[in-house]
Amino acid sequence: MFCPKCGSILMPKNIGGKRVLGCSCGYKAEGDVTIKEEVKHVKKEVHVLENENDPTLPLADYACKKCGHPKCFFWELQTRSADEAPTRFYKCEKCKHTWREYK
Ligand SMILES: [Zn+2]
Ligand SMILES: [Zn+2]
């Protein structure tokens, strides 16, 4: 883009938090040339089933709610937004019963 006033090449400038094209003569191309910077929010969706067969899951001294077995695998998932507390899942080592617990 060139300056309609003096014909120089317009340079991107940061004016008042906005990115505009400006010229050394003082001309500013505002409005339609504003560069919009969008922050993409990547939504992470993790499914419970992906974790269920993970052999690296830590084992906790936690009694199974179904059979009473004292050892359960556990993992945490950030289910909704980052502001919310993660949900903890448990899976019985013995009967494979899986349940979740909210903090
Ligand atoms: Zn100019
Ligand atoms: Zn169990």
Tell me the per-residue pLDDT of 40-99, one tens digit each, with 9 for 90 and over: 665 555 555 555 556 678 999 999 999 999 999 999 888 777 777 888 899 999 999 999
Instruction: Give me 98's structure tokens.
Output: 């899986």
The set of catalytic residues is: 83-84
The domain locations on the chain are: 1-38, 48-101
Reported pTM: 0.44
Nearest ligand by distance to the CA of 92 = 2
Q: How many CB atoms lie within 10 A of CB 91?
A: 21
Which CATH architecture fits 48-101? Answer: Single Sheet (2.20)
Instruction: Give me 83's structure tokens.
Output: 């502001």
pLDDT of residue 33 exceeding 50, the answer is no
Indicate if the alpha-carbon torsion angle 23, 28, 31, 34 is positive or negative. positive
Find residue 89's DSSP bridge partners: 75, 100
Q: Which residues surround ligand 2, an ion (CB under 5 A)?
A: 64, 66-67, 69, 92, 94-95, 97
Average pLDDT, stretch 16-20? 80
pLDDT at 57: 85
What's the 74 CA to ligand 2 centre distance in angstroms? Answer: 13
Nearest ligand by distance to the CA of 25 = 1
pLDDT at 102: 74
